[in-house]
Chains A and B, each alone.
Chain A
Amino acid sequence: DAGVIQSPRHEVTEMGQEVTLRCKPISGHNSLFWYRQTMMRGLELLIYFNNNVPIDDSGMPEDRFSAKMPNASFSTLKIQPSEPRDSAVYFCASSLRGNTIYFGEGSWLTVV
């Protein structure tokens, strides 16, 4: 299995620009998660989907962040406009509901 695939792996962007992070979950998994990792706050759940439907988005920081899952094999996390404090590693993860959650390698975002 290819695992959870995220792109881009690294992104450097200027403040104010739109950032789109992409995720392809493991085939057959029906739950998808977006986490953010920073030194100050550790790992935080931003949002998770089950069967493409958002279940818990209480961790989404503010309206600048949005996430979509148009089908079972693709999800995006968008930040518009980006700010320096959004610099972090963003992880996508997936699971077959009730089982182990598998993480991708992460997207390292730097906003300057």
Chain B
Amino acid sequence: AQSVTQLDSQVPVFEEAPVELRCNYSSSVSVYLFWYVQYPNQGLQLLLKYLSGSTLVESINGFEAEFNKSQTSFHLRKPSVHISDTAEYFCAVMSPQGGSEKLVFGKGTKLTVNP
């Protein structure tokens, strides 16, 4: 069975500082990896995903994540954050073998960007 560990439950940073949100997964088979973002009182929105190919994936708003198979990690990074990036971020894993579409989520990391 898959599992996801998000090592930090809360990450406070100042505006324009870099940030890294850590994610490690556990799976015995190949995986797809995702980052979702949840703004207060809203649903989850896909930020970026890794399915195959290049291990570095980027979002349209400056976030990027790198799939590292040897370290079973998929950390999310942004070189310079904005106040508007304040939200909760969820890492998720899917093992598509056998046709499963089950997404397993981590517990989330609350990113707070302070002025």
Chain A residues within CB distance 8 Å of chain B: 4, 31, 33, 42-43, 45, 48, 50, 55-56, 91, 93, 95, 97-98, 100-106
Asked if B103 CB lies within 8 Å of chain A CBs, one says yes
Among A43, A50, A105, point to the contact of B101 (Cβ < 8 A). A50
Bits for B38-69, please: 1 = Cβ < 8 Å to A, else 0.
Answer: 00001111100100000000000000000000
Whether A98 contacts B96 in the complex (CB less than 8 A), given A105-B43, A106-B43, comes out as yes
Kindly list chain B residues whose C-beta atoms are within 8 Å of the C-beta of A91: 43-44
Number of residues from B at the complex interface, CB < 8 A: 18
Number of A-B contacts (CB under 8 A): 43
Docked-complex contact B90 and A43, CB < 8 angstroms: yes
Query: A7: shortest Cβ distance to chain B, in Å?
Result: 13
9 nearest A-B pairs in the assembled complex, by CB-CB distance:
A103-B43, A43-B105, A103-B44, A42-B107, A105-B43, A100-B46, A104-B43, A106-B43, A31-B101
Chain B residues within CB distance 8 Å of chain A: 36, 42-46, 49, 90, 96, 100-108
**Complex CA–CA separation, A4 to B45 (angstroms):** 12
**Complex CA–CA separation, A63 to B43 (angstroms):** 27
